[in-house]
Each structure stands twice: as structure tokens, then as C-alpha cells.
Amino acid sequence: MTMVVLLTILLALLIPLLKVVYQTISYYYLTPRRIKRIMAKQGVYGPKPRPLLGNLKDIASLLSKTASHDMSSINHDIVGRLMPQYVVWSKQFGKRFIYWNGCEPRLCLTEGDLIKEFLTKYNSVSGRSWQQEQGSKHFVGGGLLMANGQNWYHQRQIVAKAFTGDKLKVNAGYVVECTKQTIQKLEKEIEESSGQNEFEIGEYLARLTADIISRAEFGWSHEKGKRIFDLLNLLQRRAAQATRNLYLPGSRFFPSKYNKGLKALKLEVERLLVEIIQSHKDTAEIGRGNSQGNDLLSMLLNEMQKIRDDGFSLNLNLLLDECKTFFFAGHETTAILLTWTIMLLASNPDWQDKVREEVAGVCKGDTPSIDHLPKLTLLGMVINESMRLYPPALFIPRMAFQDMELGDLHIPKGLSIWIPNVAINHNKEIWGEDANEFNPGRFATRPLNENRYFAPFSSGPRTCVGQAFATMEAKIILSMLVSRFRFTISKNYRHAPVIVITVKPKYGVQVCLEPLNS
């Protein structure tokens, strides 16, 4: 009898253990081998992966050669610098190739028709991979950016309400207000520094977009959210570094100093967020909030109280993840877009003048409003050209959760599809011989040629939820800035784009500002 009990206990312990062992072997060995075989049968090959590391070392070694020095001039031919592996492998294996991020196989896909089909038709059966989820677990957790399946569907429905047309109108007011403050700050600094008019403009734009998202979506003043903003930036960098170790089985469980530090930082951010959320609730209760329950945070708080019959519930952890997600996604990308656009306008004075003239003609000296924006077509073209040359989202990554047919390709479950925006946007076959030059005029003709895939905000149901917000914000900020200052690129500017999640100027963008008479 005792023997039977002992055996039962042993089995009960052994079965979950065996399951974990099988899953680990399957993840690190069996699935990659199966996918490699299936893709090879279809003529899709790639560089030879090393055990566990895949091609990570090859990528690091190529990057260390191309991205460690400055570019000799302001030259937009950046694909070889930022994605040397793409240049080497696409030459060697053709436009479709497969490479290995640790044990995760990734198919590099650049064909516009297949990308559109994949993002539209297969949205519900693709999503974030395990590696991506683990990499951002401590950063944005299960927020919308990283959610999958039914959770993604529910979360998207909830937050989409914060980005409708009427909300955009209210938010445009915050954008104008915050931009005025930044302009005043810049003017004051020029005045007080007796002629010193050089600024690293990226820093000001990052503060500005953080201020806007804080006020518009969370009802905080930037000062209140400033500590969170700084901690989140640090958390983002640490989480990106931690992702590099994920190829080691179980590395995320090691009680290393590094992992402990990451968790402590996450807890600190969340403690501050809880404080701010509580004060938002208190203000709402006594009816003193200026958002009047219309911002994203109010919507999320309302949702938490609802009992839903579809089984989905928004708990405090998810609320915190959603706050981190929107704080990050809602300012970083826009700040980067604005920074590169100012660099491009400062080094192309003819386009800067054209945009300034257009803004003067459309706004007639008034601050820009939402009704002016569709008329700012040249500015729209400049913004598109900036996102083409320096796409804030470098890649669109998605994993196939089931087998699927994509054009002539059979995509097996477990294969990640990587859409390299930056390589597509600089491809001469698509954009012509001047693909690496700044020429906003190329966006004047509509519709874009059929095979030109250009989707800086992605496409399909999982397209950027903040696209209209970001476009409105960028147009207002740029039109206000060009109306108040003339920009020239400083001799101290060093052109050195690097990848730190997005494409960033390594040393910032130094420009000289000449105030214009209003």
C-alpha cells in the first residue's frame, strides 16, 4: 500500500517535470529543426545557426564593424550600417531568407503583397513570440503591444475608444499648449545665453512628447510623471539588454544581480504608478480633474470596475502594464520621428522654407487647429519621407501560431515573420535610384505604385492604435516650430544613426535656432 502511494507521488512529481523537459527540448531543438526542414523544402535558406545562439553572434560581429563609427556625411544610406546582416544574407540567399535569433527562426519578408496578406488575413492567428513576450515582461508586460489572442482583442476594443475623432480634437489642444511652453523655454534660453543658440533638439522633443502623452492620456502634469518617465527609459534599456541572454535555457530564473535589479526597477515604477493612479482617482471623485473622465486612464479605471460576461477582466497588473505601454509607445516613436524630421529640415533649407510658407498660408498666423491639418500637404509629405528614411518602427515582428498559406509559401506554426521596414523603405527596386535621398516630392503622387509597401504604422487590424494621434501631434508641433524658428544643422552634429529599439541619432541632433519675428 505504502509503495503504491509512493509511486503515485513520484509519478505526480515526474509528469510535470517530464513535460517541462519535453517543452524545453521541443523549443530549443525539435521545433527549430522541423521549421528549418519545411522551409528548405520550399527553397528558403539562410545562414547556418549555432546551437542556442542561432545567428546572434554573426549579427553582433557584423554590426560592430558597421555601426561603431560616425557616417562621413549626412547620408541616408543606412541599411548597410543598421542591418548589415540583411545586406549580406539577402545577397547570399535571395529576398526570402531565414535566420535565427537564438532558437527562434525568423523569416525575413519584404514582398509587399505577401506582407499585406499576412497582416490582414492572419492577424488572429499570429502575434508576439515567446521571446518577445519574455523580453518585455518587466517593461510593458501584457499591455496591448505584447498581448495575443482574445486578450489582445479585448484590450484593443477598450483602448481604441480613447483615440476617436472627438478625443483627438481635445488632445490637439494639449499638443498646442505643451508646444507653446517648449517654444517659450527655447526662446528664453536663447535670450538668457546671449546668442548661444545651439540645442540638442531631440532632448526637448522627447520631453515635449512625454509631457503631451502624460497630460492627454493620463491627466498628469509632466512634472508629476517625470520620475516615471526617467525610470521607464532606464527599464526599457535594461529590458533590452536582458533580452540578449534569453537564448540560455532558464536564464530568466537565475537570481543574478542583473535580474534582481530589473525586478526592483519594475517594482519602483509600479509603486509610483499606483500613487499617481490613486491621486487621479481622488481628483476624479471630487470632480477636479481636467480630463473629466475622458482620458485613457479614466477609461481603463472604469473598465476595471465592470463585470464582463466574456471572461476577460482588467485587473490592476494589466492596468499598470497598459499605462507603461502607452507611456512608452505614445511618446518614444513620435519623439524620434520629430527629431529626424528636424534634422532633415535643418539640412534641407529649401524644404524647410516651403513648409514654413505652407503653414503661413494655411494657418494665417493662428495656432494650428485640427481643421488646418489636412491642408498641410507638403508637411505631410515631409513627415512621410522622414518615416521612410528613418522609420521609427524598424521591424514589424509576428509569430505564426498555426500553419498558414501565404502566396506560394507554406508558413509553419512557430515561424516568426520579420518585416524589415527600414530595408523595404530604402530598396532601389521599389523607390528608384534616389531611394537613399531626401525627396518628399515622391509622396506627391497618389496612389503609391502598387508594389510600394509603405506602412510606417503597420497595416491590418493590429495597425498602430495611436496613428491618428501621432500624425496630429507631429503636424502641430512641426508647424509651430517652423513658424517660430529657422533651423540650421550645427557643425557639431555627428551623423551616426544607431538602433536602440528604434533608430536613434547616437549623439542627438544639434541644431542652431534662429528666432523668427511672428
Q: Which residues bind ligand HEM (CB under 6 A)?
A: 144-145, 156, 325-326, 329-330, 333-334, 337, 392-393, 396-397, 456-458, 462, 464-466, 469-470
> Measured between alpha carbons, how far is 437 from 416 in angstroms, rounded to an integer?
31
End-to-end CA distance of the chain: 94
Which of 128, 372 has the CB closer to ligand HEM?
128
> What is the nearest approach in angstroms of ligand HEM to the Cβ of residue 225?
14
Which of 146, 265 has the CB closer to ligand HEM?
146
> Measured between alpha carbons, how far is 445 from 378 in angstroms, rounded to an integer?
12
Which of 84, 397 has the CB closer to ligand HEM?
397
Helices (H) and strands (E) in the chain, counts: 20, 12
Q: How many CA atoms lie within 13 A of 354 on its CB side?
A: 15
Which of 156, 222 has the CB closer to ligand HEM?
156
- Whether the bond between 105 and the residue before it is cis, its omega within 30 degrees of 0, is no
> What is the nearest approach in angstroms of ligand HEM to the Cβ of residue 325?
6
> Measured between alpha carbons, how far is 213 from 217 in angstroms, rounded to an integer?
6
Asked if residue 145 lies in contact with residue 323, where contact means CB atoms within 8 angstroms, the answer is: no
Q: Is 200 helix (H, G, I), strand (E, B) or coil?
A: strand
Q: Specify burial of residue 153 (Cβ count, 10 A radius: 0-12, 13-18, 19+).
A: middle
Please identify the residue of the shown chain whose CB is closest to the bound ligand HEM. Answer: 466
> What is the nearest approach in angstroms of ligand HEM to the Cβ of residue 132?
9
Which of 62, 383 has the CB closer to ligand HEM?
383
Which of 436, 458 has the CB closer to ligand HEM?
458
Which of 138, 388 has the CB closer to ligand HEM?
388
Which of 330, 412 has the CB closer to ligand HEM?
330
Query: Kindly report the CA angle at 376 between 481 and 163, in degrees rounded to 5?
Result: 85
Which three cell numbers mark 160?
481604441
The residues near 88 (Cβ < 8 Å, ≥ 6 apart) are 62
In the block, cell 537613399 appears at 436
Helical segments of 330-486, H only: 332-347, 349-363, 377-389, 421-425, 428-431, 467-484
Which three cell numbers mark 193?
545665453
- Residue 103 labelled as part of a binding site: no
> What is the nearest approach in angstroms of ligand HEM to the Cβ of residue 254?
28
> What is the nearest approach in angstroms of ligand HEM to the Cβ of residue 17?
35
**What DSSP designation does 28 have?**
I
**What DSSP designation does 516 have?**
-
> What is the nearest approach in angstroms of ligand HEM to the Cβ of residue 51?
29
Asked if residue 46 lies in contact with residue 32, where contact means CB atoms within 8 angstroms, the answer is: no
Q: Is 463 helix (H, G, I), strand (E, B) or coil?
A: coil
H-helix or E-strand containing 100? strand 97-101
> What is the nearest approach in angstroms of ligand HEM to the Cβ of residue 140?
9
Q: Is 120 helix (H, G, I), strand (E, B) or coil?
A: helix
> Measured between alpha carbons, how far is 161 from 295 in angstroms, rounded to an integer?
9
> Measured between alpha carbons, how far is 306 from 100 in angstroms, rounded to an integer?
43
> What is the nearest approach in angstroms of ligand HEM to the Cβ of residue 507?
22
> What is the nearest approach in angstroms of ligand HEM to the Cβ of residue 456?
5
> What is the nearest approach in angstroms of ligand HEM to the Cβ of residue 167?
11
- Kindly give the pairing relationship between strand 409-411 and strand 416-420: unpaired
Query: Kindly report the CA angle at 35 between 33 and 38, in degrees rounded to 5?
Result: 110
**What DSSP designation does 48 have?**
P
H-helix or E-strand containing 512? strand 510-515
Which of 32, 397 has the CB closer to ligand HEM?
397
Which of 419, 513 has the CB closer to ligand HEM?
419
Entry field: residues in the chain = 518
> What is the nearest approach in angstroms of ligand HEM to the Cβ of residue 458?
4
Which of 279, 502 has the CB closer to ligand HEM?
502
List residues forming the annotated binding site for heme.
Answer: 464
List residues forming the annotated binding site.
Answer: 464
